[in-house]
Amino acid sequence: MQTDFHSLPEALQTPHQVRKLDLTDQNISELPHTIGNFRFIKELHLGKNQLSYLPREILSLKHLRVLRVPQNRFFDFPVEVTALPLLEELDLRENKIHELPVQIRNFTRLKRLSLAWNNLQCLPREFGFLGALKYVDLKYNKLTRLPAEIGRLRELRVADFDWNHLRELPESFGNLKKLRKLSLAENKFEQIPTAFALLEGLAYLDMSWNLIAKLDHTLAGLPYLRILDVHNNRISEIAPGFCKCRNLKYFNAKGNRIGFLPYAFNELQSLYSLDISENQLEEFPGLFCQLKKLTHLNLRFNNISRLPADISCLSRLKSLYLGGNTLTYLPAAVFKMENLAYLGLTENKLRDITIDSSENSLLQGLYLGGNPINKPVFGLQKLRYLKQLTLSRYISNKEDICSLLSEIPVEIQ
């Protein structure tokens, strides 16, 4: 027995059999009153049409659990759907909804709500009555504040508020103990909200593209925090207290104003991937050698002029990107890092390079473009696994090209 349909006329022939009706992208501007005939339907998909309202007959769909109406022309929230007793998922992305009605408090079973790409400026206090809500997507709106009642959403696991105008969060936000993933990119926060210290279940936090100037101790007590993205803020200081985030694995602080790292940074012993590119570091931090699990390190576009002689202590490193610095010399240890697969050295001031690598070198990509190299690169034949190589520079004649390529193994020419 067929239960899934993609044609309204076909579905109306056996309305009591219909469990899922997908009318996506069918140029529908108005639903017929016969939509109420599908009394046992569980999923209704109406995305990419031209709907601006839903008929009252929608109230007859007492078994409806999933309603998806993204990319339509709703200016007002369709209040009728708040009377659907079993609704668990509502998708109204990419409409022009400017306000939520107080009737949303009737969504006692709603678990997933997506209202991204609308024109919402605030949420009513009744938003806090969605007690079953686990996932909410409100990115690309115009929200300037959240109601204190949001702290009542005790089942919330994932929340996305990217691209709004938020400057602060209510203290009640700290009541969201089950929140695992939180995105607040492209807002107007000047500091990490203090309520975050109580989000004991938080594993992923994105606060990129805000106005944060300092990373303090606020996140230090979060036992499950694994991923932190604060790229493109105004961070100039990382406080020692921040370094108590001992389970942090991925840290992206690209595009800030960091000039040094505190010695306590070596306490981030779980760190696997670190990006501090486009900052103001003038030295390669020696404390990195104490980060025994560090596997990916990006320090592009800082002001680093030299590397430590013992850089091979980063024994687990698989990728190291140092392009856009002011390096003039490479210590021999760089090519003795046996697990290193990708080494980026573009746009530095390197004039000659000699590769004295280990026989066990796993280097697959070596990027030297944008350096004033004027001598052959000796030792390339030792890199048995090399697959990608850039040597571009200002070259005036064919003889120079042949000279620079003289050491490249035949198999990668």
Report the 3 state secondary structure along 298-348.
ECCCCCCCCCCCCHHHCCCCCEEECCCCCCCCCCHHHHHCCCCCEEECCCC
Q: Which CATH superfamily is domain 281-413 in?
A: Ribonuclease Inhibitor (3.80.10.10)
Confidence label for 412 from pLDDT (cuts 50, 70 and 90): very low
Least confident of 20-24, 75-79, 246-250, 361-365: 361-365
Top CATH class of 1-87 equals: alpha beta
The widest CA-to-CA distance across the chain, in whole angstroms, is 81
State the pLDDT at residue 380.
85
Residue 96's identity, in one-letter code, is K
Is pLDDT of 393 > 90?
A: no
State the pLDDT at residue 403.
52
* 210-280 CATH fold: 3.80.10
> 206: closest CA among 151, 239, 168, 163?
163
Top CATH class of 98-188 equals: alpha beta
Q: What is the DSSP letter of 155?
A: T
Q: Where in the chain is the domain with CATH 3.80.10.10?
A: 1-87, 98-188, 210-280, 281-413
CA distance 43 to 153: 25
Confidence label for 126 from pLDDT (cuts 50, 70 and 90): very high
Q: pLDDT of 256-296, one tens digit each?
A: 999 999 999 999 999 999 999 999 999 999 999 999 999 99
DSSP characters for 244-281?
G-TT--EEE--SS------GGGGG-TT--EEE--SS--
Q: pLDDT of 160-183, one tens digit each?
A: 999 999 999 999 999 999 999 999
Q: Considering the entire predicted model, what is its pTM?
A: 0.93
Q: pLDDT of 4-51, one tens digit each?
A: 999 999 999 999 999 999 999 999 999 999 999 999 999 999 999 999
